[in-house]
Chains A and B, each alone.
Chain A
Amino acid sequence: MKNNLFKMIALFVAVSTLLAACGGAPAAEEPTKITAFVGFGAGSDPDSMEALKKIAQEFNDSHKDIQLEFTFSTWEEHSAKFSTLLAGDLAPDLAFPIGIQGIAEFYDEWIDVAPYIKEDNYDTSDFFGPAVELLQYPDKTIGLPLGVYTSVIFYNEDLFDKAGLDYPPSAYGDPNWTYGQVVELAKSLTLDENGNDTNSPDFDPTKITQWGWAGWDGPFRTIPGKFGGNPLGMDAEYKTAEMNTGGYLEGAQAIHDAIWKTHVSPTSEDLDSSFGGADNPFEGGLSAMWESFSWIAYAYPTFNNFNWNVAPIPAGPNGDILSPTNADTFAISAHSKNPQQAWEVAKWLIEPEMLSRICGILGCMPSRKSLADTWVKDMSTEYPNVNFQLFVDSIQYMDASPNNEEWVPNYQKVWDATENAADTLRTDGNADPQAVMDALDTEVQGYLDEYWASK
């Protein structure tokens, strides 16, 4: 009797447990859907999209509780697309990859990930220190670096050969390697249509066919630091514009002189005219020296139309060596409904092996020290003539804080105004750098005042 009762109870318990399990199965958690927005920078070309979709598939196969999906947008429309998603309560959880400029565009939108890093005791020692510092803002840490893009000098060996000049140095530490020397070299490397260089009395500056130095064509904020100034052009409180003195003014003067005095640099019209079919001054073979971030890697096949190599960043007149750097990271949206899971996805993406793969897809230099040597080796196999170690060496000279792309109040307006001022310098030979920078200073001060008035 007791045996039977026992059996009955046991059966009852078993069945009810089974029923509970079955009844509970439909109520089991749906995997959390995490969307990652691709469009702030690289990643929206067909090959990258395919590769990223595969990566998402791998993540999904190995994670039952989180499902990752990439949402792609063209860069040109990324702001509109991201804005509509935000406004429509469909905010992506992650922005990936996103650079410093992208972060600044929607600065208020990203959460502080420092608590997550702390909670997980996440080991950040493998990342290049300056790269981590880059993403630490006064009020929050926005992400961890995925890839770094340092700047180096690119030079055209064939043009140097033709002019009979020695190549630039191949390592940091040469005290003679300054921007002054660059301009000196460029004088012999700038030719007009009759083959005269700038040292010749017959040189015609209106008929230049080859430029010795095209390296100050990038965003203006990459330049003041080389003259000892602050890339952001304002005080640390972001209250007062300081764009008509110091590094800003010297940089402006240097740009103007290089174009209109020594004639070694191309004008805005030369630059903006796609340099005759090319997207940048270097790849068409018309510039002997250029300075750029390493994300230009997508153009290396075109550089290969001639023999080229890289050189270290020269020192400014006061001895400052600054390699302007961009970086890619992930960022988690403040409107994300699942920030914890987004963090899990982000961690998975920046694990060494996955990070190395993604950098291969997007063309960045991995931000982990452990991957640096492999990267140099891989790149050297593809481009044997080029000294890729310099990209890694430049990290110690990068502008970690403040960074040339970093947030300032009224970011886009200040950026546009600065670029317009630089453009004026490159367009108008009669422009007075002091006057141009004074006007810029006034305009930006207005934007700063406008920002603080609305707070």
Chain B
Amino acid sequence: MIGKHTQDLINRIMVLILLFIGMVVVVTPLVWMMVSALKSQDAVNTNPPQWIPTEQIKVEINGKDAFLYNIEADGVLRQLALINKEGSIGTFVNPDNPEEQYQLPVASGSRATRVYFHWENFVLAMTKVPFAHYFLNTMIIVVFGTLGTLVSCVLVAYGFSRFRARGFNILFLILLSTVMLPPQVTLIPTFILFKKIGWYDTLYPLIIPAFFANAWDVFLLRQFFMTLPTELDDAARIDGAGPFQILWHVILPQSYPVIATVTIFSVLYAWNDFYAPLIYLQSESHWTVALGLQAFNAVFTKQGHLLMAASALMLIPPVLLFFFAQKLFIQGVVVSGIKG
């Protein structure tokens, strides 16, 4: 018979192994993203794809760029620069002494390569676009949007979960049904609406609606509130607490995990959303970070290395938020003996 302690240890190790295997699967594309962020522009789309940033070596000969080749000259394997080509024969020179020239078939050699990490791509990704501007716009949307979402969705979910009223079933269904209609067909009417209010080319369409709740978060909060026993509500009511006080002193303290979840989702959504900013903003100075990221994927350009660098940078705020929000997940509420 295995002791409990050993059984625990075995369980833990098995879990760790499973998590590790899963992690490899999950993390591989992310590693690729980091690696690609460090490549030179012409190394991003190579055959076969590179896992280590490698590029062909160029040297400057007489003011012009020339590729370096590993090629055999006079029976010796050397590194020579190709400065001219006539048909299949190339003129190769010694990079240290350009007077030393050889006429050799180009196909007999191969391009010299080196491993090089282009850390400057991260800086480039932030300087090629007016990053500070974009960031400011994005932060406004994220902060106010999340605030609005939290306040309104908590209130509405509280209403739907702790109060009985005529028509509430239908209303809840209507709430859900607002997200069942594909947004492509309400885009134009909504746009005209915002334009008539005078909000075109402002951040208002991206922020104000958040203060009026959304179906996803209300639904989630409602589900969660309905798992909380009503005894504490009753106790507080007997003590003379009104609905707002019950919400503040009884419901919310028991709901930190789901509030953290809604916050994380809200922030992430506002952070990554580029579609609404694209539609409702005109001047490029009002753009958000997500929209700036899209620009690196523009057609008729090749900026995969910057796209990956920018994508990697964009991960940082939401991930930091998530990492620190873990505290709320682990410290549940002590009131009803809830523990992680």
User: A residues bordering B, Cβ < 8 Å?
Assistant: 35, 41-50, 53, 69-77, 80-81, 83-84, 87-90, 157-158, 160-162, 167, 274-279, 283-286, 295, 298-299, 301-302, 304-307, 362-363, 384-385
Contacts and interface: CB of A to CB of B under 8 A. Distances in A.
A305 B111 contact: yes
Interface in B287-332: 292, 294-303
B47 A275 contact: yes
Nearest to A385: B85
Contacts of A304: 42, 67
Contact of A45 (B49, B111, B295): B295
B295 A74 contact: yes
Nearest to A46: B128
Interface in B101-140: 105-107, 111, 128-129
Contact of A167 (B64, B87, B105, B278): B87
B200 A284 contact: no
A73 B283 CA distance: 10
Interface stretch (B170-178, B184-192, B232-240): B184-192
Nearest to B90: A307
Contacts of A90: 195, 200
A298 B302 contact: yes
A183 B67 CA distance: 31
A46 B47 contact: no
19 contacts: A43-B298, A44-B295, A45-B296, A46-B292, A47-B128, A48-B301, A53-B284, A74-B278, A76-B294, A88-B191, A88-B192, A89-B195, A161-B106, A162-B107, A276-B48, A285-B47, A299-B302, A301-B42, A302-B45
Contacts of A307: 85, 106
A170 B330 CA distance: 71
A49 B302 contact: no
Given A44-B295, A49-B284, A278 B46 contact: yes
Contacts of B279: 77, 80-81, 84
Contacts of A385: 85
A83 B56 CA distance: 45
Nearest to A167: B87
Contacts of A44: 295, 298-299
Given A88-B200, A275-B47, A277-B49, A75 B195 contact: no
A194 B198 CA distance: 67
Given A49-B284, A87-B192, A284-B47, A73 B278 contact: yes
Given A167-B87, A275-B47, A278-B46, A71 B296 contact: no
Best-buried of B188, B283, B300 by chain A (most CB within 10 Å): B300
Best-buried of A284, A305, A384 by chain B (most CB within 10 Å): A305
Nearest to A163: B107
Nearest to A162: B107
B298 A284 contact: no
Contact of B295 (A41, A49, A162, A298): A49
B77 to A, nearest CB: 19
A88 B42 contact: no
B300 A88 contact: no
Interface in B1-51: 41-42, 44-49
B124 to A, nearest CB: 10
Contacts of A278: 45-47
Contact of A305 (B46, B85, B129, B296): B46
Contacts, number: 130
Given A284-B45, A301-B41, A45 B301 contact: yes
B188 A88 contact: yes
B275 interface: yes
Nearest to A296: B300
B195 to A, nearest CB: 5
A425 B249 CA distance: 68
Contact of B278 (A41, A81, A161, A306): A81
Contacts of A284: 45-47
Nearest to B50: A277
A161 B105 CA distance: 8
A454 B184 CA distance: 24
A337 to B, nearest CB: 15
Contacts of B128: 46-47, 50
A295 B278 CA distance: 26
A278 B46 CA distance: 6
B282 interface: yes
A398 B41 CA distance: 32
Contact of B49 (A47, A276, A298, A384): A276
B107 A161 contact: yes
A87 B192 CA distance: 7
Contacts of B283: 69, 71
A279 B45 contact: yes
Given A84-B188, A87-B188, A277-B45, A74 B195 contact: no
Contacts of B97: none
B62 interface: no
B276 to A, nearest CB: 11
A83 B107 contact: no
Contacts of B49: 276-277
B336 interface: no
A260 to B, nearest CB: 23
Contacts of B64: 384
A157 B107 CA distance: 9
Interface in B213-263: none
Given A46-B128, A74-B294, A84 B187 contact: yes
A298 B45 contact: no
B196 to A, nearest CB: 9
Nearest to B200: A90
A41 B195 contact: no
A46 B45 contact: no
Given A84-B187, A301-B41, A385-B85, A42 B299 contact: yes
Interface in B157-185: 184
Nearest to B281: A71
B275 A41 contact: no
Nearest to B190: A84
B45 A80 contact: no
Contacts of A285: 47
Contacts of B188: 83-84, 87-88
Given A53-B284, A77-B275, A286 B302 contact: no
A319 B82 CA distance: 39
A46 to B, nearest CB: 4
Nearest to B46: A277
Contact of A286 (B47, B67, B85, B111): B47
